[in-house]
Amino acid sequence: MSNQASAATETIDLLLEHYLALLDEYTTLRGTLNTVQADIFHSLARANFSAERGIRYYGQDYYDERMQAIRRIQIGPKDGKAEAEAEGKGDTDPGANRPVFTVRTYPPSASGSEPDTVSRTSDGSGSGTESKEAEKSVPDADAKSGGVNPSATDDSSGSVDEKQKKEQGQEKGEEPGPTSEEEQKPRPKDKPTDPLRWFGILTPLALRQAQGHAIKAVEEIIPRLATLNVEMAAIEVEVRRARKRRAKAEKAEEKRVAELADQMGHVDVSA
């Protein structure tokens, strides 16, 4: 066998070794997905069995027609760094260019601090600090802000006071303080609702368990299976190419041997 053919065989062996490892992972994950899917169906069946009166079947009749995905795919290079992908700084390893599927919750930032800050501005202490700032900035406001107790229960006077403070801030062209900025911010958009809420407020435990199993399938198993699928398909292409190269090298080798034999025959005749 020629050097080229043996090198191609070696490459094929390496690729097949990797391919079989991926196949093993694929079949294992398939088994896990089957178990998780069975758990989902079991939980759904239990939920339907224990459904409250009025609920016929936990199914498409209750789907929200304006649903928004709260779990979305992110497809990136193998190392999973979106920045590197954007700048085209891939690894030198050819396998690094193969896409990897990951499932992320959407919207990406939970922004748990936002509601806190909003609530902080609406409480008494927040308006107290604002009134102090207003005192410093505009003397006219002294009487009003000084007169109004931060802990006053009169809502209307408080709101008028806040409006005036905003106007004062705008007139002065000062950079608004963190609290006023938060006030000016539009209210956070309505987050996509939890699909469990489509089926009512008090959903049975079994339905929540079904959701838990489904999240496991969607977040852990399905993206990995999709990644393996793409990776295996890429290796299949590489193996076929390597086999073609090997066949070509073998053909060339056979041709060369035949030519040599021909030449040797001529030598015999002339001798």
Output 37 or 149, the one with its CB closest to another protein. 37
Position among 41, 170, 191, 205 found at the interface with another protein (CB under 8 A)? 41
31: tokens are: 């088994």
* Closest of 183, 153, 149 to residue 169, by C-alpha: 183
Check residue 55 for interaction with another protein (CB under 8 A).
no
What gap in Å lies between CA 207 and CA 214, rounded to an integer?
10
Check residue 51 for interaction with another protein (CB under 8 A).
no
> What residue spans of the chain are helical by DSSP H?
3-49, 82-87, 113-122, 124-137, 140-147, 155-172, 178-184, 205-216, 222-270
Check residue 215 for interaction with another protein (CB under 8 A).
yes
* Closest of 231, 232, 218, 239 to residue 99, by C-alpha: 231
Check residue 63 for interaction with another protein (CB under 8 A).
yes
Instruction: Quote the distance between the C-alpha of residue 214 and its chain's center.
Output: 16
With CB under 8 A as the contact rule, which of the stretches 71-79, 107-115, 167-175, 257-265 interacts with another protein? 71-79
What gap in Å lies between CA 229 and CA 65, rounded to an integer?
32
Which x/- pattern, by CB under 8 A, does the window 217-236 give for another protein? Answer: xxx--xx-xx--xx-xxx-x
| In the complex, minimum distance from the CB of residue 199 to another protein, in angstroms, rounded to a whole number | 9
- What crossing angle do the helices spanning 140-147 and 155-172 adopt, rounded to 10°? 150
37: tokens are: 């899917």
Output 148 or 218, the one with its CB closest to another protein. 218
With CB under 8 A as the contact rule, which of the stretches 148-156, 160-168, 206-214, 256-264 interacts with another protein? 206-214
**Rule CB under 8 A: which of 114-143 touch another protein?**
none
What gap in Å lies between CA 128 and CA 145, rounded to an integer?
9
Residues that bind another protein (CB under 8 A): 19, 23, 26-27, 30, 33-34, 37-38, 40-41, 44, 57-60, 63-75, 77, 85, 97-99, 101, 103, 105, 192, 194-196, 207, 210-211, 213-215, 217-219, 222-223, 225-226, 229-230, 232-234, 236, 239-240
